[in-house]
Amino acid sequence: MAKEYSDEQLTASNGGFMVGETGSTYVATDQLDFETFLTLDTMEIGAVTHPLDYQTQEGKKAMRIIYYKDRIKPHQANILDDYQKIANAALAEKRNRILNSWFANARDDVFIEIDDEFSNCQILQ
């Protein structure tokens, strides 16, 4: 139903499921807005809410129904439960390593002039 009728582009393509920072449908509690967190805090797994008023990120008034699919207790990351998170961290580390290498090589080829107005800036030291 969400794919067909939802106006919320962020969730419609996933069948109405929210997506966390890692691209997974498992969303960490610190990524939830306060009202959603409070609603989920009182729900049982498998429960569905009645339609709830909320405000989109663009500030529009909307309605949503929350289905509490599953809960994962805090745990040490592992490949079975946290593959996407681990893959994203590895990719970010690889990008940083390549970028730092590029900066190190380019440093000798690039001239940077710092305006006297900013000569006391500690960040530029």
The structure's pTM equals 0.57
Question: Residue 56: CB partners within 8 Å, gap ≥ 6?
Answer: 8, 62
Q: How far apart are CA 80 and CA 47, in angstroms?
A: 25
Q: What percent of the chain has pLDDT over 90?
A: 19
What pLDDT is recorded for position 98? Answer: 96
What pLDDT is recorded for position 121? Answer: 82
Domain range annotation of the chain: 2-64, 76-110
pLDDT in tens, 61-104: 988 888 998 888 888 888 988 888 899 899 999 999 999 999 88
Per-residue confidence at 46, pLDDT binned at 50, 70, 90?
A: very high
